[in-house]
Amino acid sequence: MKILITGGSGFLGRIMGEKLSSSHEIISLGRGKSNSISCNLSTSIPEIPKVDVIVHAAGKAHVIPKSEIEKQEFFSVNLNGTSHLLKGIKELPQLFIFISSVAVYGKEEGEEINEDFPLLGETPYAKSKIEAESLIQKWGEEKKVPVVILRLPLLIGPNPPGNLGAIIKSVKKGYYFRLGDGKAKKSMVLASDVAFLIPTLLNKTGVYNLTDGVNPSLAELDQKIASHFGKSVKSFPEKLLYSLAKIGDAFSFFPLNSYRVNKLALTLTFSDQKARKQLNWNPKPVLDHLFED
The CATH number covering residue 138 comes to 3.40.50.720
State residue 13's pLDDT score.
97
Q: What is the mean pLDDT of residues 131-135?
A: 98
Provide the mean pLDDT of the chain.
92
Q: What is the pLDDT of residue 98?
A: 99
Q: 262: closest CA among 109, 99, 64, 115?
A: 109
Answer yes or no: is 58 within a domain.
yes
Cα–Cα distance for residue pair 289/171, rounded to 1 Å = 18
122 pLDDT more than 70: yes
Beta-strand pair 147-152/234-236: unpaired
- pLDDT tens digits along 80-100: 999 999 999 999 999 999 999
Say if residue 73's pLDDT is above 90.
no
Question: What is the domain count for the chain?
Answer: 1
For residue 132, is pLDDT > 70? yes
Residue 168 and residue 184: Cα distance in Å, rounded? 18
Q: Which residues pair with 155 in a beta bridge?
A: 189
Query: Considering the domain boundaries, does residue 183 fall inside one?
Result: no
Q: Is residue 241's pLDDT more than 90?
A: no
Helix (H) or strand (E) holding 64: none
Which region among 104-108, 147-151, 176-180 has the lowest average model confidence (pLDDT)? 176-180
Question: Residue 259: what pLDDT?
Answer: 72
Could you tell me how far CA 79 lies from the centroid of its own chain?
16
Establish if 163 belongs to a structural domain. no
> Lowest-pLDDT range, 4-13, 160-169, 255-264?
255-264
**Cβ neighbours of 86 (radius 10 Å):** 22
In percent, how much of the chain has pLDDT > 70? 97
Rounded Cα–Cα distance for residues 80 and 100 (Å): 15
**Residue 166 belongs to a domain:** no
Rounded to an integer, what distance in angstroms lies between the CA atom of residue 217 and that of residue 200? Answer: 30
The string of pLDDT tens digits covering residues 176-204 is 888 778 999 999 999 999 999 999 999 99
Q: Tell whether 236 is covered by a domain.
A: no
What is the arithmetic mean of pLDDT over 253-266?
Answer: 74
* Residue 35 backbone phi and psi in degrees, to 5: -75, 155
Q: Which domain holds residue 119?
A: 2-158+188-212+270-286
Better-predicted residue by pLDDT, 63 or 239? 239
Q: In this structure, what is the dihedral angle of CA atoms 125, 142, 3, 292, given to the nearest 10 degrees?
A: 30
Q: Is beta strand 177-179 parallel, antiparallel or unpaired with respect to 25-30?
A: unpaired
Of the candidates 159, 209, 165, 213, the one whose C-alpha atom is nearest the C-alpha of residue 186 is 213
Burial class (CB in 10 A: 0-12, 13-18, 19+), 122: exposed
Instruction: Compute the distance between CA of residue 48 and CA of residue 50 in angstroms, rounded to an integer.
Output: 7
Q: Which pLDDT score, from 0 to 100, does residue 245 have?
A: 81
- The answer to whether position 79 is within a domain reads yes
| 227: in domain | no
Indicate the pLDDT class of residue 255, thresholds 50, 70 and 90. Answer: low
Does residue 62 belong to any structural domain of this protein? yes
- 184 with 218: CB under 8 angstroms? yes
What pLDDT was estimated at residue 242?
77
pLDDT band at 64 (very low <50, low <70, confident <90, very high): low
